[in-house]
Structure 1
Amino acid sequence: MIVENINGSFYKIAPNNGNIKVIIEKAKLLNFWENLGYRKLILKSGKYELVKVNENSIVEIVEDYRLADEVRTYLETLNHQIVFEEFLKKDYASSSLIKSLKGIEIKFSNGNSNEAQFFYKNGVVKISSTAHSITPYNEYEGYIWKDQVVDRVFSPTSEYKKSEFASFVNKLSGLDSNRFKSLRSIIGYMLHSYKDPTNSPAIILLDEDMDMEQEEAKGGKGKSLLARGIGKIIPYYFKEGKNFNKNFPFSGLEKHHKMIFIDDIKKGFDFESLFAIITGDFSFEKKFKNEEVISFSESPKILISSNYMVSGVRGFSEERRKVEFEVSSYYGPHLTPFEDFGHRLFDDWDEMEWTRFDSFMLFCCKEFLKHGLVKADSINLADNKLKNDTDPKFIEFMDEEITNDCKIDKRELFNSFKEKYKPDFILLSSNQFTKWLKIWASSRGHITKIDKSNSKQYFEVIIKR
């Protein structure tokens, strides 16, 4: 190889007493990587992660070997292998040099209360309650994670009502128009990455035919398939409910995940353990790594499927942190979605079906932005909650005993109950019985008051009419 003087973008090749001398200039090497989009992402902890920014907006976390790969690819196209050999000798892609890359602090966009954003191959789809638009990534003023980009072109269609997934969701709603509207709003809420600081509850999917007395878990209603559908638009983290309480339950969670789906939780699941995640910054640990923290605004929403009632601390603090939806019995052992549609949802779809699916899902988001979370009327949920929080025999007793406005000696009522069902409630305390009275009255919508008079406690009830 005859060399006079060659000046590359970050190196020089020059003759040197009959030999060849290669000089790699570190400042220019950093500039070479930065022109390719490599940056040092500054974390809130003060540490950093190596990232690559594509099309001015799309951010991916990368390993440091990618820097060496870029150098090698560039030099191979110029047939300057001798430079790569020099590059390898001194390990120019070391952490000490990476630290000198331009640092950036990125606030990722999650939309706002009036606008949702979705990311497809052909650009950023912005959705409001009335319209949509598509912005190319090189014109988008914001950043997204690469793993948020859906590997499909968004091409809206007015035929979204013909979507198989729309039909599936309608059947999960029991073919009831009001419940269908509620479930569409839930889908829209889960799709929208924006989190309202005052109201961002977990969504809990339950079976409408849950048998509290037999404690029978039936399942197979399509709850998991619904979650998969949401996950076809936004990246989500899947966690089996039976393994939730093991060490590091969120060890696989990544920053780009916008939903946590806890599937098929066990009976007795402690919903209260999620309170901090639902209402504040999300801190979690990964095995052999330090604790990570995701701010509330960027943390994922939570979706839970259960064949059992989900309880925590009863009252407003629990109720404002969750929205429950009873999934119909349209599907089950008697009929699966595969048997219903004649093929697998998602896996066996053609391009047109995906187009209808995308348009239906973003229509759900439009509805959420317009109407908010629409709560469905209870089918069996109110009664199941009452059974879960008290006892079926207690409910039977109270419904028979209290039929009109009354004022009853609480101790006499307590003793009458224990006498009727002895010996089942021999260990039931007076305090627990009082709690049950309040829960029963609240569930039935009655107005109650407990008064003391002449060393006696009276339970006063005004019946809801």
Structure 2
Amino acid sequence: VIQKAEEDNSVKFWTLSSRGVVKAIPLIFKKFLESNGFYKFCPDGQKNYVFVKVTNNLIENTTEKEIKDFILNYLHDLDDMAIYNYFADQTRLFKEDFLSLLGTIDVYFIEDSKDTSYLYFENCAVKITKSAIEVIDYLELQGFVWRDQIIPRPYYPSETETNDYSLFIENVSDQDKERILMMRSTLGFLLHSYKNISYCPAVILNDEHISDTANGG
């Protein structure tokens, strides 16, 4: 697991001569960006790379502009306008050709299996199996997760299985136990990203009675 490095104001990826001439040091610049989670990433089956930012177990796409913003924000806190102005003006340092010096990261993404599914929330990951629901801290995950997979709200285990949504499922299933079970299985199938490519049915919901007259559905 890659831990995000703490920003250190003593890190200098440039030189400053006695005449006030500033020059970037590419190797230290590269290491500084990588220590703060910036890398290249090649998706499976592709030759072209994208820039990503890694924070603990979370990975997200980033851009040349966002990398430049990160560097300039860091330099702004140093309160040295000569250094800031140099990097703000050196657009070539933030072009794809130059940033290709970043290392390529090889990551293992967590995926659903036949018997296990994962959901990701702001405060934790949730591992779901037939017999249990397990809350997992992101730092304890044995792999990486795309940040855009995170559901934008925290998760807190419920003390009861009865809630508004379960009541809704029971009502649309006409309180029929067999139909309730079928609806739960259908929702689980849709939430589960693991799919057997040889058997992947479409889910279609109809009114209880099929006719030319609307049934309020």
Deviation at 1:105, TM superposition (A): 4.0
> Where does residue 112 of structure 1 map in the other structure?
113
> Where does residue 134 of structure 1 map in the other structure?
135
1:10 aligns with 2:41: no
- Matched residue count: 207
Give the alignment of 1:288-327 within 5 angstroms: none
Higher strand residue share: 1
Percentage of matched positions with identical amino acids: 25
Q: Deviations over 1:234-282 (max 9, x none)?
A: xxxxxxxxxxxxxxxxxxxxxxxxxxxxxxxxxxxxxxxxxxxxxxxxx
Gaps of 5+ in 1: 1-5, 219-328, 333-465
Contact 2:125/2:137 (<8 A) preserved: yes
> Where does residue 100 of structure 2 map in the other structure?
99
> Where does residue 238 of structure 1 map in the other structure?
none
> Where does residue 34 of structure 2 map in the other structure?
34
> Where does residue 159 of structure 1 map in the other structure?
160
Distance in structure 1 (CA, Å) of the matches to 2:175 and 2:10 = 71
Deviation at 1:128, TM superposition (A): 1.4
Give the alignment of 1:115-194 within 5 angstroms: 115-161=116-162, 163-194=163-194
Change (3 A) 1:84 1:166: same
Change (3 A) 1:100 1:199: same
Deviation at 1:107, TM superposition (A): 4.5
Q: Deviations over 1:43-84 (max 9, x none)?
A: 3220111111122x2111122101111111101111122212
Distance in structure 2 (CA, Å) of the matches to 1:113 and 1:181 = 19
Deviation at 1:156, TM superposition (A): 0.9
Higher helix residue share: 1
Contact 1:7/1:13 (<8 A) preserved: no
Query: What amino acid is aligned across from residue 160 of structure 1 in structure 2?
Result: E
Distance in structure 2 (CA, Å) of the matches to 1:36 and 1:201 = 44
Contact 1:60/1:145 (<8 A) preserved: yes
Q: Deviations over 1:128-151 (max 9, x none)?
A: 111222222122111211111122
Distance in structure 2 (CA, Å) of the matches to 1:13 and 1:51 = 30
Name the SS for the 1:23 alignment partner: strand
Distance in structure 1 (CA, Å) of the matches to 2:139 and 2:16 = 36
Distance in structure 2 (CA, Å) of the matches to 1:210 and 1:129 = 33
Change (3 A) 1:8 1:195: same
Q: Deviations over 1:3-37 (max 9, x none)?
A: xxx97431122312xxx121211111111111111
1:206 aligns with 2:172: no
Distance in structure 1 (CA, Å) of the matches to 2:88 and 2:159 = 57
